[in-house]
Structures are given as structure tokens and as C-alpha cells.
Amino acid sequence: MEKRLSSNILKWIAVISMTIDHMGAVLFPQQIWMRYVGRMAFILYAFLITEGYVHTHNLKRYLGRLSLLALISEIPFDMLFHRTFFYWPSQNVFFTLVLGLMGIFLMEKAAGKLPVNWVFLSLIPVALMGIIAQIISCDYRYFGILIITVFYIFRKRPLAAFAGIGLIQAFMNTIQMFGLAAFLPIALYNGKKGRGGKVLQWLFYFYYPLHMAAIYVAGILLGII
């Protein structure tokens, strides 16, 4: 099977899936199929986070961009889903991605310093990130950290990644199983970044808060919010 999809194409698929999901959650709650389509988004973002970690030349800058977007996105996220400027019991998915990225970085560092027989202890940083995710109640919570970690550990064994993430999704709830459809475009990933450059990179980042603000405004105009 020829692999034709670049990471930028995967990002487009994730963006479209996420937009359909959020529109379904807020504007068209009766259209449950939109939520099914939306389950692909996080799986794709989790995969892309591991790819970003493996290929980045500057991890601090990468973490900085994600952290900045997490902070910027919190107000539109809370306004859209909780109708308030700040809602402590729930944080946006960029916090999950930041914690997941930190988890695999610390895991790799720990694994490099531990004897082979004790390498399992390198999972402790991942567990800590999962606890933090649970405490701050970011999207997908510790399940999200586990998904990112499984993608990283099994990045060269796609069938094992599929099985591991499928198991995690099953523990979450039935609807999350639709997210496994994301493995089809992932299977077609060619390992290349694709066209677009820095402009497209920042578009993907800022699309997240901007699309939530747009859906919020649309909800007001339609009298839904």
C-alpha cells in the first residue's frame, strides 16, 4: 500500500474531524454522527505529538508553542463548553498534549539512565503526568497521556499501537472506539512534513482557539447559546 499522506495532511484531517465534533457538541447535539467523526481528532493529534517529539530540533520551543496555545485557548474553550471565562473543573486538550509530550520526554531520559532490568521505572514520569492531567481535568485526562505514550513506545509497531489504544478506548466508553478509524490515515502516513511551511504550522496551532470562538459566536447568533 503506497503511503501518500504527509503530517500536514493528517493535521487537516484532525482539524476537520475536531471541527465537526465541536459543531456537533454545541450547534447540532441531535446529530450524534458528528461526535463519532470527532473521535478521530485526538488519536491523530496524539500520533502527531509523538512524531513532533521524534523530529523536533528544539524541544523547549516545541513545548513553549504548545503551552502558549493551551493558555490562549482556555478562554474560548470555557466560553464554548461551559459559558464562562474560566472553568476550573475542565481544561482544554492542549494541556493534555503538553503533559503527554513532557511524559514521553521524561520517560526517555529516565530509560537511558536505568539498568535494563529496571527500565519499567521509566514509566513513573508518565504516571505523574497522568495524575496531573487528572487533577487539572484536561481533556481525555490520564487516558490521553496513555494514548500518547502508547504511540511513542510502539511507534515502529503499528499493530501493537492499534491494540493498545483500542484497549484504552474501550475502557473510556463505547463512542471512543470510533476514534480507531484514525489508524487508516495513520497507516498511509509517509513520514514527511508536506507542503505549507511556517505559515501552515501556525495556522494549525491558532485554528484551535479561533474555531471555538467562531462556533461560540455562531451559537449566539442562532440563539443556541
* Mean of pLDDT values over 11-39: 97
Report phi then psi at 31, rounded to 5. -90, 80
Band of pLDDT at residue 1, cut at 50, 70 and 90: low
**CB of 126 within 8 A of CB of 103?**
yes
What's the whole-number average pLDDT of the chain?
93
pLDDT tens sequence across 61-72: 999 999 999 999
Distance of CA 112 to the CA centre of its chain: 26
pLDDT over threshold 80, residue 10:
yes
Rg of the chain's alpha carbons, rounded to an integer? Answer: 17
Query: Residue 215 has which C-alpha cell?
Result: 462556533
Give the distance between the most distant pair of CA atoms in the chain.
61
> Global pTM?
0.94
pLDDT tens sequence across 173-220: 889 999 999 999 999 999 998 877 777 888 888 999 999 999 999 999
DSSP result, 11-40: HHHHHHHHHHHHHHHHT-TT-HHHHHHHHH
pLDDT over threshold 90, residue 27:
yes
pLDDT tens sequence across 91-129: 999 999 999 999 999 999 988 888 777 777 889 999 999
Which amino acid belongs to residue 49? I
Interatomic CA distance for residues 156 and 150, integer angstroms: 11
pLDDT tens sequence across 134-150: 999 999 999 999 999 99
Which amino acid belongs to residue 71? L
Which amino acid belongs to residue 225? I
